[in-house]
Amino acid sequence: MEKKTAFSQSGFSLIEVLVCVAIMGILAGLAIPNIKTYSTAESARDRRHAQELSSFAVAAKVAGLDMVVPGNIDATLAKLLQGGVPKDGSFRGCLFRAPQMRPEDAQSAARYLRLENDSLVYLANAP
């Protein structure tokens, strides 16, 4: 003979719900610092690309190529990525081009760059 109770067996108990909430809290606590780390890693990558572009612009200028477009950082970055070949000097015939950098990487790095006196300058303290 079955004994009938006033409570049904369907649903979750309070303990089960509390355990699920605690597990979700632990997982969220682990995930949030990783998201911040990704943002920091992305910023570090952009800063490195900005430094490379700035150094490359100086090297190209020394080789006899003027790749800086005054007042237009986007055109300057496009010119750096496209590259060029000096027509005279000791680097004549050598291709100067930003190595292994995609256009979107250069655009992300642009926030750390500024044009000053016909030179591409890296800003260490940019936002």
Q: What confidence tens digit (pLDDT) does each residue in 43-97 have?
A: 888 999 999 999 988 888 888 888 888 889 999 999 988 888 888 888 888 888 8
Tell me how many domains the chain contains: 1
pTM, full prediction: 0.67
- Helix, strand, coil percent values for the chain (each to nearest 5): 55, 10, 40
- 85 within domain boundaries: yes
- 101 within domain boundaries: yes
Question: DSSP strand E in the chain: where?
Answer: 113-116, 119-122
- Please tell me the predicted confidence (pLDDT) of residue 2: 60
Q: What confidence tens digit (pLDDT) does each residue in 85-98 have?
A: 888 888 888 888 87
The residue range of the domain holding 61 is: 47-122
- 82 within domain boundaries: yes
CB 49 within 8 Å of CB 101? yes
Q: What's the token pair of residue 98? A: 């930003």
